[in-house]
Amino acid sequence: MAKNVKAVGFDLFNTLITLDSTALVEAENRLMASLHAGGLTLEEDFFLGLHRKWARRFLDDTRKDGRETHNRFWIVAALEEAGHEVDPEGPLIGAAVEAYFSSFIERCRLIPGTIEMLRGLSAEYRVGLLSNFTHAPAAREILSNTGLAACFDTVVISGEIGYRKPHRMVFDRLVMDLGVCNNEMIYVGDDPEPDITGARGAGIRPVWTTYVLDRGMPYAPGYMSRDCEEDLQVPRISDWDDLKKLLDSLKMH
């Protein structure tokens, strides 16, 4: 584990916040309602199946070069396959995106003790957030509503810079913004590929948080890479007390 840690970075979903189990279903309901209000006639199950298919396809494509995608492209691709030609930048799609994310904005919950933990860390470390989030305005609203926005020295959101974890660029951006060297930082996240593999690839020491996993809680919607849970060979924490103990142990080396 790294010595002389000067900064701590965090993932967002399933690391600092969780989502109610109803969030995804309600998001899809609101997406459908918005498209119907915009004058489109769609069979719900058919369209949502297409939307999920295209979401997976676009997200899989991001693994090729790390470039971020956006929900508007998934919606447009699904609509086109269903026989509707629409403008990706038009008001119909813009309204649908906002309707979809409004469910997640309303249903975010802080993991207990998170604000206090971050405030405590800021007395000794630079503290940053790095989140894969396609629609950055929704991420910013979540951070504001939960009180997290004021807890970080920097916030890096994939949808704002055009690349997503595990691409090295986003980790290097976080390190640069925090004003430290890569090997002076740890990064706390829950998802093996973007968080653990990504941090390692950038020369940052990862810490695997399993708060949600250990409690059998629903994961925030996404396409997670959970095929190596028991073989990560990195420090593992299950709550904020574990993180404090880990950081305290590093001071002793």
Q: With 60 as the cut, is the pLDDT of residue 9 above it?
A: yes
Quick: pLDDT tens for 86-99: 999 999 999 999 99
Q: With 50 as the cut, is the pLDDT of residue 224 above it?
A: no
pTM attached to this predicted model:
0.93
CB-count exposure of residue 160 (10 Å: 0-12, 13-18, 19+): middle
Q: What is the mean pLDDT of residues 245-249?
A: 94
The pLDDT, as a whole number, for residue 231 is: 62
Q: Confirm if 142 and 131 have CB atoms less than 8 A apart.
A: no
Quick: pLDDT tens for 102-143: 999 999 999 999 999 999 999 999 999 999 999 999 999 999
The pLDDT, as a whole number, for residue 2 is: 46
The pLDDT, as a whole number, for residue 217 is: 83
The pLDDT, as a whole number, for residue 221 is: 60
Cα separation of 113 and 144, whole Å?
A: 17
Cβ-defined contacts of 170-173 (< 8 Å, 24+): 170/66, 170/130, 170/198, 171/130, 171/198, 171/199, 171/201, 171/202, 171/204, 172/202, 173/130
Q: With 70 as the cut, is the pLDDT of residue 62 above it?
A: yes
